[in-house]
Amino acid sequence: MTWATMKFYVLAACLLLAFGLGLGLGWKLYHPTTPPLVPAAPEVILPNHGGTEIERKEQDPTAKPTTGIPSGATVEHTGSVTITPAPPSTPTPASPAVTPTVTCPPCPPLTINWSLVRLKGGNERMIFKGPDGTDITGVDVPVHPAGPPPPLPKWTAFASYYIRERTYGITALKTTGPFILGLGIKQSRAEFGAGKVSIDGAISLGIHL
């Protein structure tokens, strides 16, 4: 084994060791953890806004929605809301001679099932389903922006084989924000296929466009 070849393997081993340590540190700092279960919460009446914060059950990954779900969508929340219409008021007659208007019987409660789903592209959609024969129409106004895109990998490493030179190389790339820092080492021959082998290296800087 020549000294140049030995230097190549030493540098390759050092680079792989640094890469492994970087991966280990990155995993320790940024490895995904299991998100905590969403706890149950009671119903809350909002007097200042005239709304109701509906009861939230304990998180149940096995819950099955009762609404239709688009193909490929992921169900994030599902439940139902029950509406009890207020009885109509009886108009006051203009004079004793006027017969009061007869009021209709109270309307029965109406339960509407709903699901919050996330589509393949990341967008969220609300789906509602009423009892048989009930027409559902409504408007969904997004207020909070969509979630951030999936994070880019912190490190990327690959090995190369140069056909004409019959040499090898190793390159490691680190992503930091919009920038990409590259570090690579390779064997190099003075003449393709037959010359003396030496070691060459490269440092590169790129940016995501």
Higher pLDDT, 199 or 92: 199
| 101 & 155 share domain | no
Tell me what pLDDT residue 27 has. 59
Q: Residue type for 192, please?
A: F
Higher pLDDT, 4 or 178: 178
Q: Is residue 36 part of a domain?
A: no
End position of a domain, from candidates 132, 149, 166: 149
CA distance 12 to 169: 8
Q: Are 115 and 69 in contact (CB under 8 A)?
A: yes
Across the strands, what pairs with 173?
156, 182
| 144 & 130 share domain | yes
| 182 & 144 share domain | no
CA distance 194 to 165: 8
End position of a domain, from candidates 129, 149, 169: 149
The pLDDT confidence band at residue 110, using thresholds 50, 70 and 90, is confident
Tell me what pLDDT residue 198 has. 81
CA distance 71 to 185: 47
| 145 & 155 share domain | no
Higher pLDDT, 41 or 197: 41
Structure tokens at 58: 């304990």
Q: Is residue 79 part of a domain?
A: yes
Give 68-91 pLDDT, tens digit per residue: 899 989 999 999 998 888 776 655
CA-nearest of 31, 55, 27 to 41 is 55
| 71 & 141 share domain | yes
| 135 & 198 share domain | no
> Under 8 Å CB-to-CB from 198, ≥6 apart: which residues?
4, 187, 188, 189, 190
Tell me what pLDDT residue 115 has. 93
End position of a domain, from candidates 131, 149, 167: 149
CA-nearest of 209, 200, 138 to 180 is 209
| 144 & 156 share domain | no
Tell me what pLDDT residue 120 has. 85
| 137 & 162 share domain | no
Angle at 77 between CA 81 and CA 107, to 5 degrees: 10
| 168 & 129 share domain | no
| 26 & 69 share domain | no
Q: Is residue 39 part of a domain?
A: no
User: Has residue 137 got a pLDDT over 60?
Assistant: yes
| Helix or strand (DSSP H, E) at 10 | helix 3-30
**Side-chain-facing half-sphere of 60: CA atoms under 13 Å:** 10
> Which region holds residue 81: left if phi is over 0, alpha if psi is between -120 and 50, else beta?
beta
The pLDDT confidence band at residue 32, using thresholds 50, 70 and 90, is low
Count: domains in the chain = 2
Q: Residue type for 22, please?
A: G
User: Has residue 3 got a pLDDT over 70?
Assistant: no
User: Has residue 146 got a pLDDT over 70?
Assistant: no
| 144 & 169 share domain | no
| 74 & 134 share domain | yes
Q: Which domain holds residue 73?
A: 65-149
